[in-house]
Amino acid sequence: MRLSPPSLLLPLLLLGCPAEQLGVHIPEGGPDAMSHEDLTRDVHALVKLGDRRPGAPGARAGLEIIQRRLGEMKTLPAFGSGYVEQQATGWAVCGQKDGRSDRAVLIVAQDAGDGAGDSAAPTAALISLAKSYDLNQPPPETLIFCAVSAQGGWETLWATPPVPQATVKTLVVLGPLGEKEGFTLTETTREAPGGALKGVLASTGKQALHDGPEDRMERLDYVGLVTDLLAVRAHVEAQVSARAQ
């Protein structure tokens, strides 16, 4: 029996191996990367921790989940060597994708820390948006993905900003999400040390699904949330494209 040389067999063996097993990362981004399955899993993982507000029993585990998931979306730690900044009154978890210019897009999920619609849903949405930018080429502008506690989170973010405030040219705030109707992108202003930042608030409003007994993760419209996130992503792309012209 004639044996094939190892040098001939190796390429054939490699062809049968998933790229991830070979240490090769295949980008999985683009708008179609955002799925209702991912959103459902991330919301459930956070909601089952219970109260995640600063100092609450589920806070630490919640931060670990958000940090891990942003890392899995191939973002880099935005605070130097880490993803998390904490103060006594608030927390911020930020990952970034370095761009080809010194301009930045800041996307912030405001997380109430307890419940689904105005807590876990915007943070899950942030993670999915980060996944959609797992692309072959770096983005035209640096993308900063931050989840901040509704209580004290913005102050924590600006205490050690991931990028100089002056470089932030687009601000998107993810508010309460997950209702079947009522999604809007409305103008908003956020106070910051270097002056107010103007941007848009993506939200389905603060109605029955938020801050009450009906705020249950099973009630959220995850399929509709994907559609809402496509609108958010299109807004970001339009802002970046306009500056490139």
pLDDT in tens, 82-93: 999 999 999 999
pLDDT of residue 3: 45
Domain ranges of the chain: 30-244
CA distances from 135 to 53, 97, 127, 130 (A): 33, 10, 15, 10
pLDDT of residue 206: 63
Residues with pLDDT less than 50, the chain: 1-4, 6-15, 17-20, 22, 24, 208-210, 213-214
In the CATH scheme, what is the homologous superfamily, with its name and number, of domain 30-244?
Answer: Zn peptidases (3.40.630.10)
Residue 36, burial from CB neighbour count under 10 angstroms (0-12, 13-18, 19+): middle
pLDDT of residue 215: 58
- What is the helix, strand, coil percentage profile of the chain, to 5? 40, 20, 40
pLDDT of residue 10: 46
pLDDT in tens, 121-151: 999 999 999 999 999 999 999 999 999 999 9
CA distances from 13 to 1, 60, 69, 106 (A): 20, 43, 31, 43
pLDDT of residue 210: 47
d(CA 7, CA 226): 47
